[in-house]
């Protein structure tokens, strides 16, 4: 659907925002020794219109704990059959890079940055899994916007209750299922757009 007025949207420093939200193996009782990414969704959002132009989305086979816990399936909605026989993270990182190339995002004249809800995805999860499996992590994964900090800049409020609280504060209807990675990305993208429509100019604000 065509977007509403973009008149209050300011010129941004980035051509594209890549909204990313991993889901990972988990359990409520015993802490897993190493969580593994099981869903890898990324939305390519235009820095002019804040509309989604393309989607990278795959489930990922976990190898240390190949069986999802009941807790994990109930939390994320991700079933065993959705992750079995999917690519492993090493392959996904390669296909993601191919997608970036196809989308012209590796062109040095095109400026993009990731957007996540919190710092867990790119500060904790991806680095720890890459270290564990001795995988190279591309330099572009080191730049991101934590939307909770952007939300604080715009509204003055801490995003204490996370994505759901920000949606609520901004009067945005939640879409889909909470803790589905692709649905979380769509909701984070809606928050991103709402902050842009309030005249916000996004800056890198990752945890260092």
Find the helix or strand (DSSP H, E) in which 42 lies.
strand 37-46
Q: Which stretch binds ligand AMP (CB under 6 A): 3-11, 21-29, 152-160, 192-200?
A: 21-29
**Per rule CB under 5 A, count of chain residues that contact Mg ion:** 2
Task: Provide Rg for the chain, Cα atoms.
Answer: 17
Q: Decide if residue 23 touches ligand AMP (CB under 6 A).
A: yes
Answer for which of 184, 187, 196, 197 binds Mg ion (CB under 5 A) is 184
* Best CA proximity match to 92, nearest among 62, 60, 67, 70: 60
What is the number of the residue whose Cβ is closest to Mg ion?
Answer: 184
Q: Which stretch binds ligand AMP (CB under 6 A): 8-16, 23-31, 93-101, 134-142?
A: 23-31
Distance CA 159, CA 33 (A): 29
Q: Which stretch binds ligand AMP (CB under 6 A): 18-26, 80-88, 96-104, 139-147?
A: 18-26
**Is 23 in the active site?**
yes
Q: Which is nearer to ligand AMP, 44 or 179 (CB)?
A: 179
Distance CA 190, CA 21 (A): 14
Q: Decide if residue 26 touches ligand AMP (CB under 6 A).
A: yes
Q: How far is the CB of 117 from Mg ion (least distance, A)?
A: 5
User: Which ranges of 44-125 would DSSP assign to H, the alpha helix?
Assistant: 70-76, 80-83, 89-102
Residue 76's binding partner among ligand AMP, Mg ion, none (Cβ under 5 to 8 angstroms by kind) is ligand AMP
Q: How far is the CB of 35 from ligand AMP (least distance, A)?
A: 6
Residue 112 dihedral angles phi and psi, to the nearest 5° = -130, 160
**Is 178 in the active site?**
no
By three-state DSSP, how is residue 33 classified? coil
**Per rule CB under 6 A, count of chain residues that contact ligand AMP:** 10
Range 163-202, binding ligand AMP (CB under 6 A): 179, 184
By three-state DSSP, how is residue 22 classified? coil
Distance CA 101, CA 163 (A): 30
Q: Which residues are catalytic?
A: 23, 179
């Amino acid at each position: 659907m065509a977007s509403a007025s973009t008149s209050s949207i300011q010129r941004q420093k980035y051509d594209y925002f890549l909204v990313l939200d991993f889901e990972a193996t988990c359990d409520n009782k015993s802490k897993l020794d190493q969580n593994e990414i099981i869903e890898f969704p990324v939305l390519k959002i235009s820095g002019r219109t804040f509309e989604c132009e393309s989607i990278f989305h795959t489930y990922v086979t976990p190898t240390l704990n190949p069986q999802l816990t009941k807790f994990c399936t109930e939390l994320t909605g991700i079933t065993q059959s959705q992750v079995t026989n999917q690519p492993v993270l090493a392959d996904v990182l390669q296909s993601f890079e191919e997608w970036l190339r196809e989308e012209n995002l590796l062109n040095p004249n095109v400026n993009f940055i990731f957007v996540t809800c919190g710092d867990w995805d790119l500060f904790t999860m991806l680095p720890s899994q890459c270290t564990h499996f001795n995988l190279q992590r591309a330099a572009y994964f080191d730049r991101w916007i934590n939307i909770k900090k952007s939300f604080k800049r715009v509204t003055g409020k801490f995003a204490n209750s996370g994505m759901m609280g920000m949606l609520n504060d901004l009067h945005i209807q939640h879409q889909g299922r909470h803790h589905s990675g692709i649905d979380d990305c769509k909701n984070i993208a809606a928050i991103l757009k709402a902050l842009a429509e309030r005249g916000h100019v996004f800056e890198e604000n990752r945890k260092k």
